[in-house]
Amino acid sequence: MKIGISQLNFHIGNFNENLTSVAFEIKKAQQFNLDLLICSELAICGYPPLDLLEYKSFIDLCTEALERLAKICTDIGVLIGAPTLNPESTGKKLFNSAYFLADGQIRQVFHKTLLPTYDIFDEYRYFEPNREFKLLKYKDRKLAVTICEDLWYEQPFEADLSNKRLYTINPMDELIKEGPEIIINLAASPFSYTKIDVKQNIFLENARKYNLPVIYVNQVGGQTELIFEGGSLALNRKGVIVKELACFREDSAIIDLDSLLYDQMEPVETKPKDPSAMIYQALRFGLRDYFNKSGFRKAVIGLSGGIDSAVTMVIAADALGPENVHALLLSSTFTSEDSVNDAIKLAENKSVEYDILNIEKLFRQVKDTLQPLFKDLPEDIAEENIQSRIRSLLLMAYSNKFRHLLLNTSNKSEAAVGYGTLYGDMAGGLSVLGDVYKTDVYRLARHINRNKAVIPENIITRAPSAELKPDQKDTDSLPEYDVLDQILFQYIENRKSEKEIGKMINDPVLASKIIQRVNRNEYKRYQAPPILRISSKSFGSGRRMPIAAKY
């Protein structure tokens, strides 16, 4: 049996486009005389469709699309993800299903058993879990069809409160009783730089535990915050990877099932992946796909001479082409000459066009306008925020006038402690670095500069500053970033307590101060742009905190 795997990039709700690309793959598969083609989870509508699933009309479009696809599956079998209406009189309205299309019709349906409902996942919001276990029997072969999380029963994380299994049933333990010859997994598993090895290990362990080969077909593409890296795999029964699809682009492969079953496929040499390189590729890909899918071609960015906007600009220029990026340098009296020169040099290094505007007169006019109210009160954070908001006002004006999407340049460390101005530097249509801690932003800069100094060395080595008052430095109000990021990582990613972190860094006062700042600034993050997610715990829909709480 010849099996094709198609790792495609779907546009949520864009049924025509999704259908066309699947139909194209089927046609190709038919030309190669494949027996079976496998697509990813909820491929029909794209993952995650979120509350669009609550619209009957949306489900109807999924069903129609499936039926149209089934018609062309005359001499081939296709496994493809789609939602199913739950026919029972009780339970959630839908199943998250894998459809088997063959002989021009829908032949069989398999439902997902384990419904991730944590972090960015909300599957129990929509889906009823499967309770019936059966194999796909096709051309004298028996295949165990699983959907994404179904193979994650033994997942090693999300275990911060105890060392327990998240689910009470292991679908593969049920399916194995029916004597399958191979495990198929239709997935929509998003990228996280902490999860690269974890993912491969999950499949390795399933292969070994059940003594079966595994074929894993993942979705690829950016879906607003989420980046699906693809990286689909085939492993033999020893857990050795024998086929690996590309990361961050569409890809496909043909697998001869007999070769896979009888261990006749060569191991793939998998190189250890450099996290900075992976993060860089993920961000570039996520950015590009957000533009593609939301119909934007061009980006505008405020270039300050600091490292965050520098890295953001480089990623944007690589993602969209430098001709599609415009930089605005918005200087004030507090902007050092170095900052301007470095920003210019950076833009020129990347062939990005830029304009320089001085915000000084505007800043004075704002202060004049407010004079009747502010009178002779001393300048404070209000005036700092005014400058930041003047910049975003100009950037958004450019964005609106020329239809460039404003890229946000805040990093995760700032976002965590609220070191940023709401509607000021926190503005933008998409946050590129909002899930990257400041110390990792430096690593990205080093990665960008690995062959040549694209980002002027000065930008990397100069002490970080918001340049909103004379001689300001980030360290005036924050600890050194390596200490800060350690506290933040332990609190946000690892859910450690104030007390534990205080011990860990040997400074309970600092730990407490930082954690309180994180908690106090939920209100700011609530209004932040969508953030490209690259970690296991990003701000945004994966981290839901009460605002008016005291903790």
Binding residue (CB under 8 A) for a copy of itself from 174, 181, 251, 355: 355
Residues 431-470 vs a copy of itself: string with x where CB under 8 A? Answer: ----------------------------------------
Q: Which of 23, 72, 166, 453 binds a copy of itself (CB under 8 A)?
A: 166
Q: Work out which of 42, 70, 73, 386 binds a copy of itself, going by CB under 8 A.
A: 386
Question: Which amino acid appears at position 178 of this protein?
Answer: E
Residues 495-534 that bind a copy of itself (CB under 8 A): 495, 497-500, 523, 526-530
The answer to whether 288 and 222 have CB atoms below 8 angstroms apart is yes
- Reply yes or no on whether 480 is catalytic: no
Q: Which of 398, 437, 481, 489 is close enough to bind a copy of itself by CB under 8 A?
A: 398
- 209 carries an active-site annotation: no
- Shortest Cβ 161–a copy of itself spacing (Å): 4
Per CB under 8 A, 89 contacts a copy of itself: yes
Q: Is the dihedral angle over the CA atoms 466, 472, 478, 484 positive or is it negative?
A: positive
Among 132, 140, 266, 368, binds a copy of itself (CB under 8 A): 368
Phi/psi for 525 (5° steps) reads -65, -25
User: 233 or 299: whose CB is closer to a copy of itself?
Assistant: 299
Residue with tokens 């009783």: 177
How many binding residues for a copy of itself (CB under 8 A)?
103
Q: Decide whether 128 or 244 has the Cβ nearer to a copy of itself.
A: 128
Q: At what angle do helices 307-320 and 275-294 cross, to 10 degrees?
A: 60
Task: Report helix, strand or coil for 280.
Answer: helix
Give the residue from 80, 52, 78, 65 showing the smallest Cα distance to 20. 65
Among residues 25, 39, 41, 225, which one is catalytic? 41
Residue 189: C-alpha distances to residues 123, 147, 287 (Å) = 13, 10, 18
Binding segment (CB under 8 A) for a copy of itself, from list 133-141, 254-262, 469-477, 541-549: 541-549
- Counting every residue written for the chain, the total comes to 551
Residues 475-494 that bind a copy of itself (CB under 8 A): none
Judged by CB under 8 A, does residue 92 bind a copy of itself?
Answer: yes
Residue 372 binds a copy of itself (CB under 8 A): yes
The verdict on 549 binding a copy of itself (CB under 8 A) reads yes
Nearer to a copy of itself, 231 or 530 (CB): 530
Asked if 400 is part of the footprint of a copy of itself (rule: CB under 8 A), the reply reads yes
Please identify which residue in 224, 232, 410, 521 interacts with a copy of itself, judged by CB under 8 A. Answer: 224
Nearest residue (CB) to a copy of itself, 401 versus 452: 401
Q: Among this protein's residues, is 67 annotated catalytic? A: no
Strand order in the sheet with 251-256: 105-111, 94-102, 77-85, 36-38, 2-7, 251-256
* Window 101 to 120, contacts with a copy of itself (CB under 8 A): 117-118
What is the Cα Rg of the chain in Å? 26
**Any idea what DSSP says for residue 456?**
-
What single letter denotes the amino acid at residue 547? I
Q: Which is nearer to a copy of itself, 23 or 396 (CB)?
A: 396
Tell me which stretch binds a copy of itself (CB under 8 A): 228-236, 331-339, 368-376, 441-449.
368-376
> Which residue in 505, 515, 459, 512 sits closest to 483, CA to CA?
505
DSSP 46-84: -S--GGGGG-HHHHHHHHHHHHHHHHH-SSSEEEEEEEE
Task: Select from 167, 228, 334, 419 the one that contacts a copy of itself (CB under 8 A).
Answer: 167
Kind and range of the H or E run holding 223 = strand 220-223
Cα dist from 344 to 330, 339, 359, 399, whole Å: 12, 9, 17, 20
Q: Which of 62, 148, 195, 412 is catalytic?
A: 148
Residues 286 to 315 in contact with a copy of itself, rule: CB under 8 A: 289-290, 293-294
Residues 126-155 touching a copy of itself, rule: CB under 8 A, are 128
The DSSP bridge partners found for residue 182 are 143
Binding span for a copy of itself by CB under 8 A among 63-71, 220-228, 229-237, 245-253 = 220-228
Query: How does 186-204 read in b/e, with b if 16+ C-beta sit within 10 Å?
Result: bbbbbbbbebbeebbebbb
366 binds a copy of itself (CB under 8 A): yes
**Which of the residues 39, 62, 112, 195 is marked catalytic?**
112
User: Judged by CB, which is closer to a copy of itself: 290, or 442?
Assistant: 290
* Residue 58 near a copy of itself by CB under 8 A: yes
Q: CA–CA distance from 348 to each of 159, 284, 287, 330, 494 (Å)?
A: 48, 20, 22, 17, 41
Residue 93 in contact with a copy of itself, rule: CB under 8 A: yes
Catalytic residues, which ones?
41, 112, 148
